[in-house]
Amino acid sequence: MNDGELLEAHEKLLGRQPDDRAKYRLLPLVMLFVLSGCVLFAATYLNRYSGHFDRSIFNENLLPTGSGPVDLKPDPIALGRRMFNSGGACYSCHQPNGQGIPGAYPPLAGSEWVNGAGARVVRIVLDGLQGPVHVGGKTFGAAVMPAFGSSGFNWSDEQIAGVLSYVRQEWGNKSKPISTDEVAKIRALTADHKAWSEADLLGVK
């Protein structure tokens, strides 16, 4: 090969050649679009349903109002039902059906005490009841009603109001609920009071 032929061969090799390697596959492109769509969906979902990660938000469709934490109070009747059926509390003596135990623990269903003056039942739960008590024409007095106030189980005003509201509207009872303010007021009036007797309570209106 002479010099001219050698230069001609080099020019051909250095010239633009067709790119036979530029062959694209469809699958990677499809996967890229699918993953991008998943990322977009996840970001949109979190933005819509996270409540902006505000710890006061329990409703996934509720957005923060910017007015501070939301005070979400439980339903008093639901709270009362939970307290009534908690371990070592009311249901173990008065029974889940509110019928009590004959001769020992009086029934709550249809009880004139439960459906009577709220000031009485609040005092009973706060400070306890000792001695015989008459319910529905029958005498009960084999056991002592413990205090659930500060000197006993130390339930809060809200818990006592809830359990009283529950028993006053359960098992056919149709009495007015007890408010937290009522319990707080009586707690302040009867602080450190011993267990009540039936005679003492009959004087409470």
The model's pLDDT over 131-152, given as tens digits with 9 standing for 90+, comes to 899 999 999 876 788 999 888 8
Assign 114 a pLDDT band (cuts: 50, 70, 90): very high
Q: Which of 14-18, 60-64, 165-169 has the lowest mean pLDDT?
A: 60-64
Check residue 58 and give its pLDDT: 55
Given a cut of 70, is residue 18 above it in pLDDT?
Answer: no
Residue 130 pairs with which residues in a beta bridge?
A: none
Residue 55, both tokens: 């710890």
What is the average per-residue pLDDT within 165-185? 94
Amino acid making up residue 56: S
Map tokens 């059926």 to a residue: 85
For residue 111, the surrounding DSSP H or E stretch is none
pLDDT range class, residue 126, cuts 50, 70, 90? very high
Beta strand residue intervals within the chain, DSSP E:
133-135, 138-140
Q: List the domains of the chain with CATH numbers.
A: 18-70 (no CATH), 76-202 (1.10.760.10)
pLDDT band at 56 (very low <50, low <70, confident <90, very high): low
